Amino acid sequence: MRLSQFHLATVKEVPADAEIASHRLMLRAGMIRRLASGLYTWSPLGLRVLRKVENIVREEMNRAGAIEMLMPSIQPKELWEETGRWEKFGGQLLKIKDRKQQEFCYGPTHEEVVTDFARNELKSYKQLPVNFYQIQTKFRDEIRPRFGVMRAREFLMKDAYSFHLTQESLAETYAAMYQAYVRIFTRLGLTFRAVQADTGAIGGNASHEFQVLADSGEDAIAFSDGSDYAANLEKAEALPPTLARPAAGAALQRVDTPTQKTIGDVAAFLQVSPRQCVKTLLVRGSDGLVALCLRGDHEINEVKAGKLAELPGESILASEEEILAACGTRPGFIGPVGLPDSIPLIVDRDAAVLADFVCGGNADGTHWTGANWDRDARIGRTADLRNVVEGDLSPDGKGVLHIARGIEVGHVFQLGQKYAQALDATVIDDQGKAQLMTMGCYGIGVSRIVAAAIEQRHDDAGILWPEAMAPWRVAVCVINPKNASAAVNEAAEALYQSLNRRGIETVLDDRGLRPGGMFADMELIGIPHRVVVSERGLAAGTLEYRAREESESRALSEDELFALLG
């Protein structure tokens, strides 16, 4: 492509509400333009990148035996009523009435439509397993769209749905999809982790998220340095402590902590480590308040807490009023010693092996020191209640955990029979009996990957595309082409054509910009390789080459350049 024949429109200023790097850089590079809240036009430059991602996803889905199809974006209400999601899906479902007042929605996902397709198309177990996918525009009416295409309302998604007679067959396709996803994100050139994910309210048996690592990621991920264990923080198990609880050594003593309410304040005031403190949270149980105790340096894991039998499926902190009414003291001074017997007590396994610890005094402005389980406080039962932290042992016994932040770009999920049951999607088995199908679903946020890649790979000058995602791999630049000699222009043209002939996607910057503006544009839009053709270089028989990730140019012969670009 000659840039003079393309539409490149980089901009200097971006709106103040572009909070994250990818949003700012996509606007500055002119990859996207905002049409309305959460709605973006992909410019020619942006679309080139989007299509690269789309094509790699398609190739690997095909290689894994999935079959592409295309479902409508507009879906009838009746199907969503069959699964109960017309009401349950919530405000993200964009509901629409047509001219005849029939109700529809703009599909945020396609379980209903694909299961309806399957119940009509699939009659016999001989047609199974089958894995249908599409790459298609979806809409979720986010209450607060932001971060550009990272959390847009209209977005491009690859969604696949597999159908099976048995759980074993589902597990096979699930594994194949997992491997396909590994190939996709590897080919895209991204640093990612496949993490065990909580299956949450959707139910189902197994689920992995594919997370692109980036400091700005919304999700925290725990991964081992000694194995390929990786899990969402909400899912990662904290192993039980290996050491038993020491014997009590100190005497229980009440101390005044008139203004110290946080663990940090109390520990500093008493000159102990937060590790030596117990913090107590009161949450709403299914049958009155429940107390949860953790070590002072640990954080509650709300997903784990929500699964406790004593809780109603979620973990909600009690209000100050509730705490006052139940314990006679304010939050900040609650502790296991002297806690009313009516309140069930559940202790994190790490907090349960403390001895001589500090905890709230169950009276305003006081704490206990030298507290010990059993001697001073009933311990109730123990459980894994906390988030894992950097340095915890990996649950698989290999290595220690590190914590990173990630952006979810893919999700594989063993759905089971939830949708097949709701829509009565059956096939005839080899005994001639109707059997509900078992399903898996596999999503990739195609447009989100573009933003996630930028979050992971950028610097002050702009984007650092992996080669597979770059709009072009190479930019051939001519300094001041209108004043350059014919020889320079011809050499640039020849190089441009020669690279493209070798299958190396190359753009010729023939716009006639000054070097400063031209180089800034090529860095901003993240072209991995830049080659400058100049009089001086031509005389010396060299090209001025610079990799986007390097700070210095180097002189290369044409053969060296071809060798470097493969």
Q: How many CA atoms lie within 13 A of 27 on its CB side?
A: 19
In this structure, the number of other CB atoms found within 10 A of the CB of residue 260 comes to: 20
* Structure token digits, residue 230: 């990786």
Site for a copy of itself (CB under 8 A): which residue of 59, 76, 204, 365?
76
Coil, helix or strand at residue 42: strand
Q: Is position 428 an interface residue for a copy of itself (rule: CB under 8 A)?
A: no
Residue 458: partners with Cβ closer than 8 Å, 6 or more residues away: 21, 22, 25, 464, 526
Interacting span for a copy of itself (CB under 8 A) from 95-103, 231-239, 282-290, 501-509: 95-103
Would you say 51 or 187 has its CB closer to a copy of itself? Answer: 51
Q: Is position 71 an interface residue for a copy of itself (rule: CB under 8 A)?
A: yes
C-alpha span between 58 and 50 (Å, rounded): 12
Q: Is position 17 an interface residue for a copy of itself (rule: CB under 8 A)?
A: no
Q: Is position 399 an interface residue for a copy of itself (rule: CB under 8 A)?
A: no
Would you say 278 or 441 has its CB closer to a copy of itself? Answer: 441
Q: Is position 116 an interface residue for a copy of itself (rule: CB under 8 A)?
A: yes
Site for a copy of itself (CB under 8 A): which residue of 10, 14, 33, 355?
33
Q: Is position 36 an interface residue for a copy of itself (rule: CB under 8 A)?
A: yes
Element (H, E) at 546: strand 543-547
Q: What is the closest distance, in whole angstroms, from the C-beta atom of residue 513 to a copy of itself in the complex?
A: 12
Would you say 385 or 469 has its CB closer to a copy of itself? Answer: 469
Number of residues that bind a copy of itself (CB under 8 A): 51
* Structure token digits, residue 192: 């990612």
Q: Is position 430 an interface residue for a copy of itself (rule: CB under 8 A)?
A: no
Q: Is position 147 an interface residue for a copy of itself (rule: CB under 8 A)?
A: no
Q: How many CA atoms lie within 13 A of 463 on its CB side?
A: 36
User: Which of the residues 485 through 504 are near a copy of itself (CB under 8 A)?
Assistant: none
Q: What is the closest distance, in whole angstroms, from the C-beta atom of residue 15 to a copy of itself in the complex?
A: 13
C-alpha span between 453 and 463 (Å, rounded): 9
CA distances from 370 to 2, 10, 278, 281, 297 (A): 76, 64, 11, 20, 18
CA distances from 525 to 9, 22, 23, 289 (A): 10, 12, 13, 55
Q: What is the closest distance, in whole angstroms, from the C-beta atom of residue 43 to a copy of itself in the complex?
A: 6
C-alpha span between 25 and 211 (Å, rounded): 21
264-290 residues labelled b (16+ CB within 10 A) or e (exposed): eebbebbebebebbbbbbbbbbeeebb
Q: What is the closest distance, in whole angstroms, from the C-beta atom of residue 95 to a copy of itself in the complex?
A: 8
Site for a copy of itself (CB under 8 A): which residue of 19, 55, 63, 72?
72
Site for a copy of itself (CB under 8 A): which residue of 130, 389, 461, 520?
130
- Kindly list the residues in this chain that would bind a copy of itself in the complex (CB under 8 A): 5-7, 9, 30, 33, 35-37, 39-44, 46-47, 50, 65, 67-76, 91, 94, 96, 98-99, 102, 104, 106, 113, 116-117, 120-121, 127, 130, 132, 137, 139, 141, 143, 153-154
